[in-house]
Structure formats: structure tokens, C-alpha cells
Structure 1
Amino acid sequence: MEISLRIMTKEDLSVYYSWQLDETSRFQAAFMPKEKSESFDEFSKNWEERLENSTINAYMITLDEKSVGMVGKYEQDELPEITYWIDRTFAGQGITTEAVRLLIERIKARPIFASVAFDNIASKRVLEKNGFVSTDSIVSYAPVRQNDIIECIYELEK
């Protein structure tokens, strides 16, 4: 089982879009739009702009050359923050943990931040296994859940 990262391209957007239609994954991620109303064309346009932004680095997670998820780095208040998404059929196999490890090796700036819904235990474990520590929590509106929830802030110093 070989896990690797490759730069995300426009050709990857249809598979990434399909993963984000999964209701269970959307609920777990929490900070998605309430409705899956964004068409593929809108999604694609938004992501093509992101792929051209030099402060965003998006990678497909591949398992034996099959795309199974994505990881990325973007800037929030000029500080690096990471994000990730795994096709739910591949969750729980350590793939995301390894992909995040590969991503943080590529990011030279420190600290690196990440945030996660308070009840997304799997995502918290991914971060903690990669050396992130919980440093704060804030109350944020989670559109998918139509409610305020606790958002846990994680930080990696080394």
C-alpha cells in the first residue's frame, strides 16, 4: 500500500466534488455550506481559482496511484493552515494520517494550524498523531448542522 501526494489539477475536481456530496462526511466536516446547492460548474470555477492561487497548495492523496482524498495548505491571516478530505470508503485506514505527515514535511513555515469540529474524533486523531496540539476552541457557526458548535484549534510548532 503506497500513499503519496500529487499536485491537484482541474482534472481531479470531478472526483473531489463527488466526495463532498456524501452527507455523512459533510456533517462530520461541519463547516460546509448547508445545502449541496453548488453545482459542479460553480464548484469547479471556485476550485480552479484556488488552484491558481500561489498561497494555496492542494494535493490529491493517492493510494497505489488511485485518488482517495485531498490535503492542502492555505493561509488564514497570513499563517499556514491545513485541510484534508478523505473518500469515506477509505477512512480509518491511516491514509489521512500519512497524507498529513507528507504534507507537513512540505511546509517549511511554523507554526501550522488546523481546525476541526469538537466531535470529529477521527480528524482530531489525525492531527494529534502528526504532533498537533489543541491550543484553543471557539464557537463557530456550522452551516451543515445549522447550529453553533465548538471548533477546536490545533497547532504544530515543530
Structure 2
Amino acid sequence: MRANEQGLSSLEFRKLQEVPVEAVDASGCAVNYQGLDNLLALKELQSLSLRRCPHVDDWCLGRLYHLADSLQELSLAGCPRISERGLACLHHLQNLRRLDISDLPAVSNPGLTQILVEEMLPHCEVLGADWAQGLKVGPEEQSPDAAGSPIPA
């Protein structure tokens, strides 16, 4: 739905204001902290994709608790400003069944972060990093070479 030439929305859009919205794909949009107000009003929202949204950050994730009763799927993949701190705010979303946290450049240890998010949201399928990604391998876990000495990983 788009505004007309005068910047006003059509009458047809106003008729749809009472229709419950269950899914929003805002992938790649310039959604920011203030712009989330439009989404947080959707009390029946079950699926939200914020993939590759350049302005979605940790502060934005802190506001998603408003959707705790309805939100079941959330994609944050590729959001450059989301870190471990923002992901910790998702503990309010106990109805989440699917969460995509892949390709988050501000997350310093994706594997460990995924483990922590899985523990925080036990009924949620967390997609993203391989659980071992970013974990250091100890000397006892290194593979030996042909001569039997350990090879650094």
C-alpha cells in the first residue's frame, strides 16, 4: 500500500485497518527505533522479518517485548548493528518458535551466542551460526599429523 500523489493513503487502506496482520516482511527496509511503532501496534503479528535492515539495532530489539504474546517467527539475519546485548533482550519472546540470527557482523562469537540464545529460548529453533564457530580448540582436541604431533587448528 502506498500513499497517493498528495501523500494521503487511499480510502481502501483505511478499510483494511481492522484486518489483523499476521506477517510482515520488512527485509532491507530502513526501519529504525521510531519506525518500529508502526509494527508494535500489530498485536496479532506472528512472523516478522527484519533481514538486512541497516538501522535495526540493539535498542530496537529491546522494544519487541510488545509482541511477546503473538510473535512466533523472527528473522534478524544480516542486520549489521545487532550484537549480543540486543539478542539478550529477546528473552521476553517466550512464544518464539523460530529465530534467524545468521550473519550478524557485530556478534563477536556467533557459536557461543547461538548456544546462549537457545538456552534463553528453549522452545525456539535458532538458526544461524554453527555452534562451534568461533570456539577455540584446546590442544587435546587438535588432530595429530602423520608423525603423531598435534596440528594447530
Structure with greater strand share of residues: 1
Structure with greater Cα Rg? 2
Structure with greater helix share of residues: 1
TM-score (norm: length of structure 2)? 0.31
